[in-house]
Structure 1
Amino acid sequence: MKNIVILGATGSIGDSTLSVVDLHPDKFNIFALSAHTNWQKMQALCEKYHPKFVVMTEEKSANKLQQSLTQSQASNCAVLSGEEALCGLAAHAETDFVMAAIVGAAGMASSLAAAKAGKRIMLANKESLVLAGDLFMQAVRDNNAELIPVDSEHSAIFQCLQNGQTGLSKIQLTASGGPFLHTPIEQLKTITPNEACAHPNWSMGRKISVDSATMMNKGLEVIEAHYLFNLPAENIEVVIHPQSIVHSSVYYQDGSTLSQLGNPDMRTVIAYALSYPDRMTSGVAPLDLAGNSPLEFYTPDLDKFACLRLAFEALKQGGSAMGTLNAANEVAVEHFLNNKIGFLEIAKIVERTLNTVQHTYITSLEAIVTNDKIARETAQRIINA
């Protein structure tokens, strides 16, 4: 029986993880859960799974959850709050596996804590590698942690590379192209948040849905792939594949290409991360290639999807540039979702922030936090100008 900690339990990855765990009650125990503010949903999870610990990163939400659980007497779990509590549970002696699914930079510290504690990290928080890739991978190596990617694309590459990287020439990440694949760039000026969040294939939170629409999400995945598979930007490629059936491919020097295929459902990669190196039931229907529409592939338009171009540029620049990219994007997306800037302004704000913030080489977690703060303040000033 493995003790599971789900960081970001009330989001879509949390939902999918719990769905897989439900199929295997003899193998997994929900040891701890975390969320930011959704204490009502967390209460329902506490009453169903009876975790030993719960963390609400917002103190007010933790207090509301504690009061509600006390009144219902349905669960006697300990309710904690704050980032320090998150890190403590990620590194807890009784924790076996950590699902790192907190969105954005907020998930970095707890993911790093799990790495330093030598846990199996099921990484759905790509920002941990975007911001702290060198430090994170060093912590994984130094502490014999297991790092299993949960992004569908990186899981696909991870699966294809199980026999090693001998003869590998490049990896190719697939991208759905989001809801605006065939929308002319001039029409993107008037796109609303709800339109940007209407992803054709995946059910995701609003922030990551906007990132998919701008293709920043794919750009962050390129950076993540660089660290996971120790490859330079020149050996990482992106191809648009609207059907989201081929999740990614690896190319070899002898002309061979290996791809991982499956229905677009995160439960597949979550089940693989939980059961690795074995496989187990995920609840996902098997792929019916004959019953699917034809599979299409396109080269991404880097003028239309400028965020993808900026991510490649930040990766090639290295150092703090990737953290600056992520911070500026988080600020810009938040303003877009609040109807304060237009859709096309997101990439412009990110680019101006990258060109403004001084580049540094990252040597500590403190340096990452400082750069993140400076980049956010810079992006905010650009928006306010």
Structure 2
Amino acid sequence: MTATTANPFDSSSILDGIRRWVEIETPTEVPAQVNKLADLVTDGYHDLPATVERIAGKDGCGDHVVARSSWGQDAPGILVLSHLDTVHPLGFIERLPFTIEGDSVFGPGIYDMKGGAYLAYHAFRQICADGARSPLGITQMFVSDEEIGSPTSRALIETEGRKAKYVLVTEPARDGGKIVTGRKGVARFEVFIKGVPSHAGTRPEDGRSAIRELGNVIQTLEAMNDLKRGVSVNVGVVRGGTKPNVIAEEAYAEVDMRVPGIAESDELVPRILGLKSRTEGVSVTVTGELNRPPYEKSNSGAALYEHAKTLAAEIGFDLVDTFTGGGSDGNFTAPHTATLDGLGVDGKGAHTHYEQMYISSIEPRARLLHRLYQTLR
């Protein structure tokens, strides 16, 4: 889209761009596919007053793309965080093709978060087309591994986040267009249990079941759930044993924990890492950490939200904020930099076979990003 278009935020024109991004499937675990989209994104900045850095992927992940405005890079500016990867496996687009039905547009990753990532790019193009530079420099980062916890991009995100004055995250809107001003912290753990094998029929007394001890561990972990405090602990993967007539020598579990604040993290992470066996002769080893720190609504983040809410009202819609249990790359920046999340498109069905975005959200959300670029100082 160019500045000659009558309405630079025309939904149908923007949707054409989103479609090009959606129809390049980008499962995190297929870096060649992620890099195909990174190629397209990189090409989109070549005719703009911007420099583009391509950071080679590692550890089985795709490349990261960092585009910087040619102005304002000598002072703290605006960092825009987006991700190119999706959870949908390669070929899923045959099951969920790009399809328009009324106000809904379907496609893998269209809601989480190619729609929002494209809006941020489009709003930057429009800033360039306007001729009037934004007061602050703009840095747009597109990472390749957010859906698996950003293991290869976290350091980059934290470095750029500390340099920025504001961070805008283009994760999808929540519950009818709500902006995100807080997210739970996310911790992940692995539990390894070593017992003593024996024949379950002839010598059961000689064995020490790792699976039985895993049952004890699961009960302990489940007892940590406290929905009133906003704490959730989920044992999501379990494995163990070899045969039904063998007392299990080994068992294993993967655990996800969500906490609303640092206080809960400081309390519960050591408790989980310190789990002990209740059975003599059986060992329990837990590894893991807080993968994403809690994103708490700080004074600076609150002020950024109020500014965005005022801009939205001027555009013609009410911007309501919310707190969510899901993590994002905003968790990495919120502890030290004013961060506003959920700036992407509205829709529903993230990570599902019916993932969709709402066409009616394209223009107002694109205009909001554009106005944030224009007005943040």
- Per the TM superposition, whether the score is higher than 0.5 is no
Which one has a bigger Cα radius of gyration? 2
TM category (shorter chain) comes to under 0.3
Structure with more contact order per residue of length (Cα contacts < 8 Å, sep ≥ 6): 2
- TM-score of the superposed pair, with normalisation by structure 1: 0.27
Q: Return the structure number with greater strand share.
A: 2
